[in-house]
A and B are shown apart, each in its own frame.
Chain A
Amino acid sequence: MSLNNRVQTSIKVLQGVVVVVLLIMVGRLIQLQIIDYDKYGPLSQQNTILQESVSPARGLIFDRHGQLIVNNEPTYTITITPANFNQDNIPLLAELTGRTEAEIVNQLNLAQSYSWHRPSRMFTEVDFEIFSAIQENLWRLPGIGHQVDSKRSYPSDVRASHLLGYLREVTEQEYRRSNRYRMGDRAGRIGLESVYEEYLRGETGTIYQRVNALGQTVGMYDEGEHDISPTKGADIYTTIDRDLQALAEELMADKIGGLVAMDPNDGSILSLVSAPQFEIDKLAGKIDRDYWHSVNVDSTRPMFNRAISTQQPPGSTVKPMMGIVGQELELIDPDDTVYCDGGFTRGRRYHCLDSHGHQNLADALTNSCNTYFFKLMNDIITEYDLNTWYRLSSDLGFGKRTEIDLPYETTGILPDSSYYDRVFGANMWGPGDLINLGIGQGSFSVSPLQLASFTSLLATEGSMPKPRLVDRLVFPDNTYTEIEPSFKSVDWLNDRHFDGIREGLIGATTEGSGRYYLEFMDGFDAAGKTGTSQNPHGRNHGWFITYAPVEDPEIVIAVLLENSGFGSVSAAPVAALLLEYYFNGETTHWIKDHVLNFEPTDEPEEEEEEVIEEHIP
């Protein structure tokens, strides 16, 4: 091979290599730019267009007079995008946020484990001063961002923690199931926040922003043409009376129990308290783990809604119901009397508190005479049977949910024969277990809400409205949905069933066990009934149900105070004060002091209300 030939061949070889490689590159360009254009075009769009969800403002909650009870409050959050963050800035960031460098490194590591390129919340609920300091220095802190979140705040004295409920981050399951939620969103747990979640929440908006690789927003995409602005959630106008609720909470503080006040004419709940309350403020924003733990291990169970979920024997507050049932079954006539010699005997002795002598229905209610109702119950199970009593009582709302718009409502317990068969065994129970039911003891149990609902029936003499907490939902466009009251009718019930009962209930608040505090109050008249429910585990629970004014009732109240002893001295003054405030706008000081400083005692003042026999199966 001559030298020149070799040169020429080498040139051809090298040129061949160059041409082949260039053709491969052109081929690659054709593949990327022409064949795969449909793939990369959208990819570059996604890259540069950040689709960001905008959380809607949550609906507010108002009381029946339009006063604000639940508001939104902005909170300030510092975010970090680890990929863009420069570690040299850790000291500066520590200085600006007032945290230690170790804390910042820790948060940085957490954020890294979530994502390098997506912003993570680094510090939530920071002070506005820190927030603005960060904002001013944002330009020298690449990777650091800020956002404004919001949390619930409670501008009035009303806390109503069980009624309102709180918000918590949605679980992974929830946001996977529903496309309304994103990770980190909050949804209502318990209370109105939970029941009306879909209205309060509003619609999430979407904005499309142009961003660069550093995550910096460089402007709107298509001048915001594709943006969907968020829709604010609906405001809730509740039936709650803010001032009455605040007073009720104050009176129930440091006690254990439940209270429901409602308008018997349409079922509007004016006040609903469960005591003890949990501190709803502490659950509004970022969770205080110590508090959360303490609430959950607290033996008084602050998270438990005693107003609607607890079930306790109604005690003597059930006697009006017995009167109605007795008349329906034509076993009693309001004018007929029963002689009370201090008790009733069938198989054994059932004690009364006193020897009341001749008692008609009204007297028996006024004096809370047990003998009258032992005998009545005995007649019911003798002449009819337990299930007849069960059916009529059930018609009056016992053993059933009232269907209030709150979760976890109890049905209470209204025993029938199958209940006893299940609990004691078939043929293992008899009249001895049933006669006590006539005075609201034994297996019979109710919630304060059920008793309030039943008291409405007594107040209106026949109509039983469904309890409701929400009057109307007002949407952002000012349209609204009113929640109409609904009523349960009892087809067999008529005016004559209430003969003697109203008289007896008025008597109870003027001369009977309910009189002690009401007799000092002017301006309104009330009817009511005390009750004491037997508690085998400790001190008895006190009940009081009342309605006022007697002639044209506007309000009914049911109060349960657990472990407080007699209802006449524990629960009755609480209800009395609420009535006084409702009608007169003020409260009698010494009674309020008595309630606020109430120490339960086993010794009743002046006279015993009733002697509770131990339950013998």
Chain B
Amino acid sequence: MKEWHKHFDWLLLFCWGALAVIGLIAIYSATQGPVSEFLPSYIQRNFSNQLTWIFISAIAIILLQFTAPRSFQQVAFIFYGVCLFLGIITIFLGTEAGGATRWLVIGGLRIQVSEFMKLATILAVAQYLTSRRDISAEKLGPALTSVILMVIPAVIVLLQNDTGTALVMLSLIPVMLFWSGLPYGISLFIVSPAIIGYFAVLNWQWGLIVAIILTVGVFLIQRRPSLTMATFIVGLLIVIGVQVALYQILQPYQQARIEAFINPSMDPEGAGWNVMQAKTAIGSGGVFGKGFMEGTQTQLRFLPEQWTDFIFPVIAEEFGFIGAGLVLFIFGVLLLRLLNNAGDHKHPFAQLVMVGVTGIFFMHLLINIGSATGLFPVIGLPLPFVSYGGSSFLANSIMIGICLNLRLYQRTFTTF
């Protein structure tokens, strides 16, 4: 292709590279700094491992640019099937880490299948919804089929005790359906339980107020009394359900986690420990931070899982508001750029893939940083490209690579 570099999305690649470098710096500080003497040797190897994975991922991105966009459509269902199969195997044969069975060891290589399952689901749903003209999320049958396509991997991941990833997959449902033609009102209706639920956990009055606001919103957008009623009733049930769940259904340790989220200072040495330590790390960073490898919370290991789930507090502590803000800014550029690219693209498959990838990254960002800053209960999810983790980095990079590819070939890749 002539002048390919004019069509290539250098900005997106730059964001990928910038996040990878920031991640490397943070992982270095969290595992190679003064803290290293308290870490087992396999964690001290994290930095060089990550470097290797970034290198592999870079090659994957480059190779992907030589692929025809159509091949993603062709492999979508096969890839999806393979991932489901491996996912099920993982439930039975996987190795445990932190209470979750996530790892599948194949030939000495530890693979986290669920990371790839996210990509597989996006590809499969995108392929399904755009395969024939008569399939549209506006119709009940196809909508239900795509929901099932997304629920199955979510259930498999849930059986691996990986709640965070399951949550991310379920969040794909409204995003994908919304994009492929589901009316705005119904989309809001689908999203409303999550939003109401969040506020209901904080405080049931707030949950009720949010339910009413969303009901009004649904009515204003759609003006269908039945849908409006449904939104309100579901909202009400969620508020009640959350109260019942909080005090009747949840296991004590789950209750403690929620409790710790609502009021971390109540038990600063128990369940609230992680939240308090993460918030303290972020808060004590101030505007400019304590300096590279100078963060006391990080170097003295007050932060749990500081190379994966709690890597954001490491950056916030050592590089302050400037560093943490920069991370958010780069993510903002990346997400908005992906959405713009989706809007520019003429092919619905490409649009859906890009929107789906955006949704995945967005949910990771939301939950990871929300957990670290105490906006959400602690749910273990890596921050894309920044947290340590080979499978995660490679899978996320492949998603970026595919988006770059779809962008690069958008003139030739059309439905007609």
Whether B332 and A116, one on each chain, are in contact in the complex, defined by CB atoms closer than 8 angstroms, is no
B302–A213 touching, CB < 8 Å: yes
Given contacts A14-B339, A29-B321, A47-B280, contact A22 B375 (CB under 8 A): no
* Chain A residue contacts of B358, Cβ below 8 A: 14, 18
**In the complex, what's the smallest C-beta–C-beta distance from A46 to chain B, in angstroms?**
9
Is A345's CB within 8 Å of the partner chain B?
no
A213 with B300: CB separation less than 8 A: yes
In the complex, the answer to whether B339 meets A18 with C-beta atoms within 8 Å is: yes
Query: Which residues on the A side are within 8 Å of B324 (C-beta)?
Result: 29, 33
CB-CB contacts of B246-274 with A at 8 A, as 1s and 0s?
Answer: 00000000000000000000000110000
Query: Known: A44-B296, A210-B300. Contact between A33 and B336, CB under 8 A?
Result: no
Nearest neighbor of B320 in chain A, beta-carbon distance: A33
Chain B residues 262 to 306 lying within 8 A of chain A, measured CB to CB, are 269-270, 277, 279-287, 296-297, 299-303
User: Which parts of A108-150 form the interface with B (CB within 8 Å)?
Assistant: 115-117
- Are B285 and A33 closer than 8 Å at their CB atoms? yes
What's the nearest-Cβ distance from chain B to residue A398, in Å?
A: 62
Chain A residues whose CB sits within 8 angstroms of the CB of B35 once the complex forms: 212
Cβ contact within 8 Å between A32 and B339: no
Question: 0/1 per residue, B315-353, Cβ < 8 Å to A?
Answer: 011001100110010011001100110110000000100
Interface pair A26/B325, CB less than 8 Å apart: yes
- Set of chain A residues within 8 Å of B321, measured between Cβ atoms: 29-30, 33-34
Main secondary structure of the interface of A (DSSP, over half): helix
Stretch of B91-99, B110-118, B140-148, B178-186 contacting A (4+ beta carbons < 8 Å)? B178-186
Interface size class of B (residues with CB under 8 A): 35 or more
**Within the complex, which residue of B279, B299, B331 is in contact with A32, where a contact is CB–CB below 8 Å?**
B279
Q: Which chain B residues border A25 with CB–CB below 8 Å?
A: 328, 369-370, 373, 375
Q: Which residue of B has the minimal Cβ distance to A18?
A: B335
The B159-194 residues at the A interface (CB cut-off 8 A) are: 175, 178-179, 181, 184
The reply to whether the CB of A7 lies closer than 8 angstroms to some CB of chain B is: yes
* Per-position binary interface string of chain A over residues 33-76, scored 1 when its CB falls under 8 Å from any chain B CB and 0 otherwise: 11011011101110110000000000000000000000000000
Main secondary structure of the interface of B (DSSP, over half): helix
Residue from A13, A21, A24, A40 in contact with B282 in the complex, judged by beta carbons closer than 8 Å: A40
Band of interface residues on A: 35 or more
Name the A residues within 8 Å of B280 (CB-CB). 40, 43-44, 47
Question: Do the beta carbons of B373 and A29 come within 8 Å of each other?
Answer: yes
B239 close to A (CB within 8 Å): no
Q: Which residues of A contact B301 (CB under 8 A)?
A: 212-214
Instruction: Verify if A83 is at the interface (C-beta below 8 Å from B).
Output: yes
- Say whether A489 faces chain B, with CB atoms less than 8 Å apart: no
- In whole angstroms, what is the CA distance A19 to B181 when docked? 23
A-side contacts of B179, CB under 8 Å: 10
- B150 smallest CB distance to A (angstroms): 18
Q: How far is the CA of A22 from the CA of B369 in the complex (A)?
A: 10
Q: Counting CB contacts under 8 A, is A28 at the interface? A: yes
State the CA gap A384–B225 with chains docked (Å): 116
Asked if B34 CB lies within 8 Å of chain A CBs, one says yes
Q: Which of A26, A32, A216 has the most CB atoms of chain B within a 10 A radius of its CB?
A: A32
B328, A15: Cβ atoms closer than 8 Å: no
Chain B residues with CB under 8 A of A30: 321
Give the residue of A24, A33, A40, A83 whose beta carbon is less than 8 angstroms from that of B287.
Answer: A33
Given contacts A48-B300, A83-B269, A212-B38, whether A41 and B286 have CB atoms under 8 Å apart is: yes
Decide yes or no whether B355 CB sits under 8 A from chain A: yes
| A589 at interface, CB cutoff 8 A | no
Residue contacts A-B, CB under 8 angstroms, 20 given: A14-B339, A14-B355, A18-B335, A18-B362, A19-B332, A19-B336, A21-B366, A26-B328, A28-B375, A29-B316, A29-B325, A32-B282, A37-B287, A44-B281, A44-B296, A45-B284, A47-B297, A48-B300, A212-B302, A214-B38
A residues near B (Cβ < 8 Å) are 6-8, 10-11, 13-15, 18-19, 21-22, 24-26, 28-30, 32-34, 36-37, 39-41, 43-45, 47-48, 83, 115-117, 210-214, 216, 218
